[in-house]
């Protein structure tokens, strides 16, 4: 993200860094810069942003592949260790049996038979104990690996969701029409229905196309999620003012300015508050600010 911001700043600042090559063109260059009405290379900035987003998605895919490969390698290594442990245990048991049989052969057949039965009981008890211990260890290892796998999958889903929301917010900033921005905000709200900012910014766009009641409903939903979000109070004040609900608009504007004093200056020129300004209800509030 830091690299993306640096690239955007370099591209946007590149026209200011360029200079005329000689004194004869200096005056023409300065006049052209003074008459410049909009920034240059906007398409290149957007292209940089899209390329960076594509690079991020590719990095995430590579990271997921590495995680899956590491998980498979871990499982295979655990299985190999478990198999070697069982093989070594069985070999040791047979070595013990062979050694005991050789010793007991010197004592006599009767003693050997009794010893054989006793040895079988000991071996069975030992093998049973080892098997239970090994089974318990495998069960613990399986649960641990499953838990870690679930965490990795959840983290990947969260990263994907965050990247999708980030892309949609950037797309909303690039859209030129109100309806296009509303469609983008709807996509954000489909992913996160309680996104206070998306609800409020959608209310702003809805108010711009003359749907004051719709904007009021959206602001109410946003404030139900976060009652202290100042922009939602401000947008609700604009919606109430448009609907000629001046007392409610005045109260919402007071809350917005109390939470963020920057809205006092914006309220002086906002078209959505024309009815409230014309009524004179906000004169004392703006003069106090």
> What's the DSSP call for residue 149?
H
Task: State how far the Cα of 169 lies from the Cα of 185, in Å rounded to an integer.
Answer: 8
Contact indicator for 54, 4 with CB cutoff of 8 Å: no
Structure tokens at 173: 């900033």
pLDDT at 179: 85
pLDDT at 32: 60
pLDDT at 61: 84
> What's the DSSP call for residue 192?
-
pLDDT at 23: 60
Domain boundaries, the chain: 42-172, 178-288
Q: Is the pTM of this model over 0.75?
A: no
pLDDT at 111: 63
pLDDT at 115: 67
pLDDT at 184: 87
Residue ranges in 35-108 assigned as alpha helix (H)? 42-104
Residues of the chain short of pLDDT 50, as ranges, are: 1-4, 6-7, 10-11, 13-21
Instruction: Give residues with Cβ within 8 angstroms of 241, minimum separation 6.
Output: 249, 272, 273, 274, 275, 276
Structure tokens at 85: 């442990």
* φ, ψ for residue 201, nearest 5 deg: -70, -35
What b-and-e string marks burial along 58-97, b requiring 16 or more CB atoms within 10 Å of the CB?
eeeeeeeeebeeeeeeeeeebeeeeeeeeeeeeeeeeeee
CATH code of the domain occupying 178-288: 1.25.40.10
Could you tell me if residue 280 is left (phi over 0), alpha (psi between -120 and 50 degrees) or otherwise beta? left
pLDDT at 123: 82
pLDDT at 19: 41
Task: State how far the Cα of 234 lies from the Cα of 230, in Å rounded to an integer.
Answer: 6
């Amino acid at each position: 993200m830091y690299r993306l911001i640096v690239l955007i700043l370099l591209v946007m600042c590149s026209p200011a860094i360029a200079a005329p090559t000689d004194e004869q063109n200096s005056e023409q260059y300065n006049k052209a810069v003074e008459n410049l009405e909009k920034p240059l290379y906007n398409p290149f900035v957007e292209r940089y942003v899209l390329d960076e987003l594509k690079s991020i998605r590719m990095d995430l895919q590579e990271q997921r592949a590495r995680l899956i490969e590491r998980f498979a390698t871990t499982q295979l290594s655990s299985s190999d260790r478990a198999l070697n442990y069982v093989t070594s245990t069985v070999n040791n048991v047979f070595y013990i049996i062979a050694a005991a049989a050789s010793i007991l052969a010197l004592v006599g057949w009767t003693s050997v038979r009794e010893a054989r039965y006793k040895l079988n009981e000991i071996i069975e008890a030992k093998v049973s104990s080892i098997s239970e211990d090994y089974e318990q260890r495998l069960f613990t290892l399986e649960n641990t690996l499953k838990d870690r796998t679930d965490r990795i999958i959840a983290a990947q889903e969260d990263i994907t969701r965050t990247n999708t929301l980030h892309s949609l917010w950037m797309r909303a900033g690039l859209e030129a029409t109100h309806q296009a921005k509303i469609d983008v905000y709807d996509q954000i709200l489909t992913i996160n229905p309680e996104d206070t900012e998306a609800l409020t910014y959608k209310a702003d766009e809805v108010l711009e196309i003359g749907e004051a009641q719709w904007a009021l409903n959206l602001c109410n939903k946003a404030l139900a999620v976060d009652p202290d979000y100042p922009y939602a109070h401000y947008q609700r004040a604009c919606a109430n003012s448009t609907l000629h609900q001046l007392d409610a608009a005045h109260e919402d504007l007071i809350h917005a300015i109390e939470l963020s004093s920057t809205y006092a200056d914006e309220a002086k020129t906002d078209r959505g508050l024309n009815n409230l300004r014309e009524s004179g209800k906000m004169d004392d509030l703006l003069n106090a600010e």
